[in-house]
Chains A and B, each alone.
Chain A
Amino acid sequence: MTNIQSNAVVAETEGPVAPVEPETPKAKARPAWRSLNFGPRLWVSVGIILVITLLAFVGPLFYPYGPDQKVGSIYDSPSAEHILGTENFGYDVIAVLMASTRNSLINGLLAGTLATFIGVLIGILAGYVGGWLEEALMGITNIVLAIPAIVILILISISLQSTNIPFLKGIAGLALVIGITSWPWTARAVRAQASSVATREHIDVAKLSGARTPGILVFDVLPYLASYVVMAWVLQLASAILAESTLSMLGLGVSGTNSLGMQLHWALAFQAVATGAWWAFLPPTIVLTLISFGFLYLQSSLDEVFNPRLRRGKKKNLAAAAKRREEAARKLAEQGDAVGVAA
């Protein structure tokens, strides 16, 4: 196998986690993560997510009004003092928006991580172990997939509201519900990958070296799935945030907390659309759209980073290569002419 090929294979599955030996000459020339293609799509999506995260976590430190500080009456129009006006309870829209975004992001992170964790665990066990365990786990997965998730979400979140356990009543409870209903797609994707990794010879070698199944799963299977897991996680974050907003907008969210869905819920309940108070429902809609766009775009650009076949050549590199070829052809032609003249 040539070096070029082997590097490509490495880049495909290794991802940025690969440690690189600093002392070997080849590594010194170019560490593996540098050969990954961090294209403009990645930077745009990271930029969007970063801006929203800053808005949610750092913004409140500098903004003069708090989210539960009554500063006006219902639906005051935007003014110099309150740039996006006030919402139905007389709170500043921007202050509420920042608090909502923070809660939605936290919720998405909890739910998305939980869903990814369950999905990867089930997928990797089913794919690697195979046999009756695979049948059983995939059976459960398909059953969970077959039941409409929204129905389960609604039923569980209603029952959560009537529990007495404070933990389950908060954002964490909602995240838990979303997490345990949204793992099946991840499980299926991971199972397919894991069962293909399970047939590789290095698994046999690990077994012959005395490694046990948990060790093989963690050290020999999981690293080969890292890129898929990262992508699945990003996708789960986006869908968890959307799921939370859907529930909250339907009035099934966590009462008494701010979230993007809750904001929309109150805007609908207090006739913001009918009264033309666009500042009450447009900002959370835009932020929600930006969040999910950012994560989905990040996911597709990560695909490009991890999968060398989807990489596009950078235009300036292509142009430079074309120039070099032209130069070489010209030299060759000149030599040919010279020879022709001499003859």
Chain B
Amino acid sequence: MSANETPVLGPVLSAQHVTKQFRVAGGHITAVDDVSVDFHAGKVLAVVGESGSGKSTLARMLLRLMPVTSGTITYLGKDVTNISGRQLRAYWRDVQAVFQDPFASFNQFFTVGNMLSRSLKLADSSAESNDELIERCLGYVGLKPADALRKYPHQLSGGQRQRVMVARALMMNPKVLLADEATSMLDASLRVSVLNVLTDLRRELGLTVLFITHDIGQACYLADEVVVMEHGLVVERGTTDQVIFSPQNDYTKRLLADVPDLKGSLKSRR
């Protein structure tokens, strides 16, 4: 984000008392139960929880890909809970996402170049030509246009695909990036490279990042603040230090205890 923009007081993106219920045979399932979270400009917020804790549902509601059952979502103070059409596309210019599955996120019939060109409609490319914009965004994630643009998704590795997805999101010059389990299907070495890309972007572009993960270790690596969710409820929130060093909730303690401790396990083996 450029420095000359007016500083935003209060949260950039915020969800207040958001609830999502799914209708199932014989009743309702509450996937997200009265959750309120705030995203502050330039910060990384991690949402941690096990599978089924409602963290992805929360992300999809924040992205407006799924309607909320109740509650409001505000962006820069404006209510965006029920916008549609042109307004919604304008919202997506500012709020972008990277998803979990680096294969399913791609339309396998499109080359990387075609896919990125699709985003040009939303992207603000007034300052530079389309090619330059694509080149710049691929540059952020360490890919060369000459290598990547003409390839089909199946010709890229998992880490490359995920980085292309980050590049796509960056083309809109977003202010908020939601990474929904963006690293969970990558192997360990690639995971770090994607995490580093996110850290760099936050530092260089002042991006606000929502990092959704089931791995509290990754959350610590990246986040300024951590929200812990269990069964659709927020059970703990605070700065990363608070949550890691003095967890209050039993579930958080369990999650922390489950982080593999390399040195500890080697010591105990001796």
Contact = CB atoms under 8 A, between A and B. Distances in A.
Q: Is chain B found bound to chain A in the same assembly?
A: yes
A6 B154 contact: yes
B111 interface: yes
A200 interface: yes
Interface stretch (A20-28, A171-179, A230-238): A20-28
B122 A209 contact: yes
A210 B119 contact: yes
B105 A201 contact: yes
Contacts of B105: 201-202, 205
Contacts of B63: 204, 208
A318 interface: no
Contacts of A220: 107
Given A21-B152, A26-B155, A210 B104 contact: no
A201 B99 contact: yes
A23 B150 contact: yes
Given A6-B103, A202-B106, A209 B119 contact: yes
Nearest to B60: A204
Interface in A181-218: 200-202, 204-211
A273 interface: no
Contacts of A13: 108
Interface of A is mostly: helix
Best-surrounded residue of B96, B103, B107, B158 (most CB of chain A within 10 A): B107
Contacts of B108: 9-10, 13-14
Contact of B165 (A21, A23, A205): A205
A231 B184 CA distance: 37
Interface in B142-200: 150-152, 154-155, 158, 165, 168-169
Nearest to B66: A204
Best-surrounded residue of B63, B99, B108 (most CB of chain A within 10 A): B108
Nearest to B153: A6
A13 B115 CA distance: 18
A201 B109 contact: no
A62 B109 CA distance: 45
A57 interface: no
Given A202-B107, A205-B105, A210 B89 contact: yes
A165 B117 CA distance: 49
A206 B101 CA distance: 15
Interface string A18-39: 1001011011000000000000
Contacts of B96: 208
A233 B16 CA distance: 50
A90 interface: no
Interface string B67-111: 000000000000000000000010010001101110111111111
Nearest to B102: A1
Contacts of B104: 200-202
Contacts of A204: 60, 63, 65, 97, 99
A18 B109 contact: yes
B91 to A, nearest CB: 10
A21 B121 contact: no
A209 B108 CA distance: 16
Contacts of B122: 209-210
B254 interface: no
B239 to A, nearest CB: 30
A7 interface: yes
Contacts of B101: 201
Best-surrounded residue of B106, B109, B119 (most CB of chain A within 10 A): B109
B210 to A, nearest CB: 14
B270 interface: no
Contacts of A202: 104-107
A210 B109 contact: no
Contacts of B118: 206, 209-211
A66 interface: no
Given A210-B89, A211-B118, A223 B99 contact: no
Nearest to A221: B107
A205 B115 CA distance: 10
A28 to B, nearest CB: 12
Contacts of A14: 108-109
Nearest to A203: B107
A219 interface: yes
Contacts of B121: 209-210
A208 B206 CA distance: 21
A21 B110 CA distance: 11
A201 B119 CA distance: 16
Nearest to B99: A201
A27 B89 CA distance: 36
Interface in A113-154: none
19 contacts: A7-B154, A9-B108, A21-B150, A21-B152, A21-B155, A201-B99, A201-B100, A202-B107, A205-B106, A205-B165, A206-B118, A209-B119, A209-B121, A210-B92, A210-B118, A210-B122, A219-B110, A223-B107, A223-B109
Interface of B: 60, 63, 65, 89, 92, 96-97, 99-101, 103-111, 115, 118-119, 121-122, 150-152, 154-155, 158, 165, 168-169
Given A9-B103, A201-B101, A201-B104, 13 more contacts: A1-B103, A10-B154, A24-B155, A201-B99, A201-B100, A202-B104, A202-B106, A206-B107, A207-B92, A209-B115, A209-B119, A210-B89, A210-B92
Nearest 9 A/B pairs, CB to CB? A210-B122, A209-B119, A6-B154, A201-B104, A223-B109, A201-B105, A201-B99, A202-B107, A210-B121
